Amino acid sequence: MKRLIIWLALAGFLSPAIAENDAFPFGDPKVGAKLFQEKCAGCHIKQFGDVAKAFVRPDRKAKDAPSVLAWVQRCNSNNGFGLGREDEESLAAYLNDSFYKFK
């Protein structure tokens, strides 16, 4: 019983922190920024002339957090980057923090 009370108290203490997590809780935007520079920026500059234009244009493809991750996964697969799930989430977290601001 004592353990249950401790777990409930701990859950109550942590729940605000959990609720404040961003859309990609397993991603690290700092890691994502490095990956973006290494893997993605060159193509985005060739295609759009400016990295930001790909993400802030009115007809952008990503409309919510899951679609940002889906685009990252699609690009990873199509370009053979070989990124794991955590790196994909880090890239998505970077893009979301920098451009999209989805919750």
Closest CA to 100 of 59, 56, 49: 56
The amino acid that residue 103 corresponds to is K
Q: Is the pLDDT of residue 25 over 70?
A: yes
Which CATH class, in words, describes the domain spanning 23-100? mainly alpha
Query: pLDDT (tens digit, 9 = 90+) per residue, 50-102?
Result: 888 888 888 888 999 999 999 999 999 999 999 999 999 999 999 999 999 99
Count the residues in the chain: 103
CB contact set of 64 (below 8 Å; sequence gap of 6+): 102
Q: Is the dihedral of CA 50, 27, 69, 13 positive or negative?
A: negative
Enter the tokens of residue 100. Answer: 């999209």
Q: Is the pLDDT of residue 12 over 80?
A: no
| Residue for token pair 């295609």 | 47
Strand (E) or helix (H) holding 75: helix 65-79
| Residue for token pair 């880090």 | 90
pLDDT of residue 20: 39
d(CA 62, CA 74): 12
Quote the pTM value.
Answer: 0.76
pLDDT of residue 3: 57
